[in-house]
């Protein structure tokens, strides 16, 4: 009996010693971390400026024939600070505003410009400014929106994780996190591994950042963006866009004039709807578009670009494969043409359409 009591006392003393040691180590670590934080330099100030989205025609000309540069600073020659349209440069601040101020032409150029937000004049649906700096020009809306949404200065919502109602927003940060927002003009943002972001409502936005993250948005003029390996983005609605960036990532968009853009090795982009577009960048990537006047492009070696519908356009990178269709009214059927980059005169990164069963360069 005495032996058992002695063993019990020894175990208790050992347990107390271990607990004391753990406490001491924990306190030492905490003290060290606090000292490191105190000694660390302050974080860099957030860069000033904001981004504006606008469109020009294929010749980089705006309203009235004003010539925009492909990069660099540009100013309005007829500047007037009155709160009226005209006498200045115009665009959508952070991509927010009325879509009627953006081009619907297939060959439109999508400009991302940097401005001083303090000098912008709100015109209810767009902003006017005297000077800006063109930092990027894209061939489609999805890439331009992605550039804006993932800019470090992009204003993020700071509300509850789940929000419901018009103009609502939801944001969540952390591994396996989720953010859900429902309502017109709503926003959902989720950041973290295995994260998800869902937004439902016209003009809504959804973005997810993190490996295996997912972002989905439903509603006309919606925007969806997801970044991270194996990430996916889906958007449904007219003029909506879905963009995904990461190896084996996926982007899908459904709706007339919608866009899907995916970037990464073995990534996939698909778009369904008349005048819609799908673009994929990365080795062995796939881009597919279904709808009259739709476009599909795959950039990167050994990719595939396919577009189905009436008067569709396709292009692919080196060693790529392209497929386009046309409607033959006399036969009341579709016919298609297949091409392989580097064979029979098919060029890399060149737009083609199907005419009389043959690929014809744009």
Tens of pLDDT, residues 154-211: 775 443 344 434 444 454 545 445 555 555 555 665 655 556 665 656 566 666 655 5
State yes or no: pLDDT of 260 exceeds 70.
yes
State yes or no: pLDDT of 360 exceeds 90.
yes
C-beta separation of 318 from 298 below 8 A: no
Higher pLDDT, 348 or 143: 348
Q: Which residue, chain included where needed, has tokens 């001491």?
A: 24
Q: Which residues pair with 260 in a beta bridge?
A: 242, 278
* pLDDT confidence of residue 13: 63
Summarize the confidence of residues 233-249 as an average pLDDT.
68
Mean pLDDT across the chain = 74
Structural domain includes residue 285: yes
- If asked whether residues 296 and 182 sit together in one domain, one would say yes
DSSP secondary structure letters along 274-303: TT-EEEEESTT-EEEEESTT-EEEEESTT-
Ranked by mean pLDDT, the top range of 17-26, 129-138, 175-184 is: 129-138
Summarize the confidence of residues 58-62 as an average pLDDT.
94
pLDDT tier, 102 (very low <50, low <70, confident <90, very high otherwise): confident
- If asked whether residues 231 and 304 sit together in one domain, one would say yes
Q: Which residues contact 210 (CB under 8 A, 6 or more apart)?
A: 175, 190, 191, 192, 193, 194, 195, 227, 228, 231
- If asked whether residues 190 and 314 sit together in one domain, one would say yes
Residue 332, domain extent: 162-361
pTM: 0.49
Structural domain includes residue 86: yes
Q: Considering its fold, how many domains does the chain have in total?
A: 2
C-beta separation of 310 from 295 below 8 A: no
Structural domain includes residue 226: yes
């Amino acid at each position: 009996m005495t032996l058992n009591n002695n063993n019990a006392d020894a175990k208790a003393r050992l347990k107390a010693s271990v607990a004391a040691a753990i406490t001491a180590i924990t306190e030492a670590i905490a003290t060290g971390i606090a000292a490191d934080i105190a000694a660390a330099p302050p974080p860099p100030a957030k860069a000033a400026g904001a981004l504006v989205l606008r469109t020009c025609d294929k010749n980089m000309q705006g309203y009235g024939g004003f010539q925009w540069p492909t990069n660099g600073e540009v100013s309005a020659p007829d500047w007037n600070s009155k709160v009226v349209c005209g006498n200045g440069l115009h665009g959508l601040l952070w991509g927010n505003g009325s879509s009627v101020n953006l081009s619907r032409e297939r060959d439109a150029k999508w400009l991302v410009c940097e401005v001083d937000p303090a000098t912008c004049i709100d015109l209810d649906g767009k902003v006017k400014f005297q000077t800006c700096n063109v930092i990027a020009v894209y061939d489609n809306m999805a890439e331009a929106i992605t550039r804006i949404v993932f800019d470090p200065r992009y204003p993020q919502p700071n509300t509850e994780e789940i929000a419901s109602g018009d103009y609502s927003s939801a944001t969540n940060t952390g591994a396996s996190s989720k953010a859900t927002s429902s309502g017109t003009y709503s926003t959902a943002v989720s950041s973290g591994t295995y994260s998800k972001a869902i937004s439902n409502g016209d003009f809504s936005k959804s973005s997810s950042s993190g490996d295996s993250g997912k972002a989905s948005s439903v509603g006309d003029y919606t925007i969806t963006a997801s970044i991270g390996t194996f990430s996916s983005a889906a958007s449904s609605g007219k003029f909506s866009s879905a963009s995904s960036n990461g190896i084996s990532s996926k982007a899908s968009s459904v709706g007339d004039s919608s866009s899907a853009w995916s970037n990464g090795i073995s990534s996939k982009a698909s778009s369904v709807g008349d005048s819609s577009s799908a673009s994929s960048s990365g080795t062995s990537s796939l881009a597919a578009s279904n709808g009259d006047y739709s476009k599909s492009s795959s950039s990167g070696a050994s990719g595939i670009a396919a577009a189905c519908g009436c008067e569709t356009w396709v292009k692919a990178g080196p060693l790529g494969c392209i497929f386009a269709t046309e409607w033959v009214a006399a036969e009341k059927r579709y016919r298609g043409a297949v091409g392989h980059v580097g064979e029979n005169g098919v060029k890399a990164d060149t737009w083609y359409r199907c005419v009389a069963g043959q690929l014809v360069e744009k």
